[in-house]
A and B are shown apart, each in its own frame.
Chain A
Amino acid sequence: GAVVSQHPSWVICKSGTSVKIECRSLDFQATTMFWYRQFPKQSLMLMATSNEGSKATYEQGVEKDKFLINHASLTLSTLTVTSAHPEDSSFYICSASSWDSYEQYFGPGTRLTVT
């Protein structure tokens, strides 16, 4: 099956700093990538959808200026959490799909802790 990787797998940063998370499709071209956030003991909530070469579409309630998403190539999307605060601490998961696939392939997730 298709493989999606995320880097880093975990990161700790200080409040007020920015952190970038990478999502890569390793063996297929990802025309669409999705970013999810999961708080402890809760399900995944979609944050935004990005198509390669286009601006991301954000879900209601997600601050686009705080969560910057770039999908500049068919194998890489990045999520930058700007001016992070402790309440941004969460598990961030990306997924990717190609134009000819029914399925979304999920990355292993990145655990962000903001101190």
Chain B
Amino acid sequence: KQEVTQIPAALSVPEGENLVLNCSFTDSAIYNLQWFRQDPGKGLTSLLLIQSSQREQTSGRLNASLDKSSGRSTLYIAASQPGDSATYLCAGKKTSYDKVIFGPGTSLSVIP
């Protein structure tokens, strides 16, 4: 059974710092992996999607990487801002027909 862990569970950093969020899958057979942002009481905002054939994706200050051999992904946020404060969820699936499994999330707080 595929399980997803995210480390750390919570993170508080001063504004301007670069930071890394981690996501691990128990089964390294990953079809694709997505990073989402969720603000309190709100729905999900898709940040980056990485296919199994890709190693990383970048969007602005965000960079997500995927290491299939280890079943791990990292989300790198450069020059963090208070507006980045939110919960970040990683989610993936093993095959194109499989269901998406979500990690528990990392709660990020960027202090001005």
Of all chain A residues, the one with the shortest Cβ separation from B41 is A111
Binary flags per residue of A99-110, CB closer than 8 Å to B gives 1, else 0: 000111111110
Interface size class of B (residues with CB under 8 A): 20 to 34
CA distance A105 to B100 in the complex (A): 12
Binary flags per residue of A63-103, CB closer than 8 Å to B gives 1, else 0: 00000000000000000000000000001010100000011
Interface contact tally, CB-CB below 8 A:
47
CA distance A36 to B101 in the complex (A): 11
- Whether A42 touches B104, Cβ cut-off 8 Å, given contacts A103-B46, A106-B43, A106-B44, is yes
Count chain A residues whose beta carbon lies closer than 8 angstroms to a beta carbon of B.
22
The residues of B that contact A111 with a CB separation of less than 8 Å are: 41
- Whether A34 touches B99, Cβ cut-off 8 Å, given contacts A106-B44, A109-B43, A111-B41, is yes
Check A43 against B32 for contact (C-beta < 8 Å): no
Check A106 against B41 for contact (C-beta < 8 Å): no
Interface of A is mostly: strand
Cβ of A46 within 8 Å of any chain B Cβ, yes or no, is yes
The residues of A that contact B99 with a CB separation of less than 8 Å are: 34, 46, 49
Binding site for A on B (CB under 8 A): 31-32, 34, 36, 41-44, 46, 49, 51, 89, 91, 96, 99-105
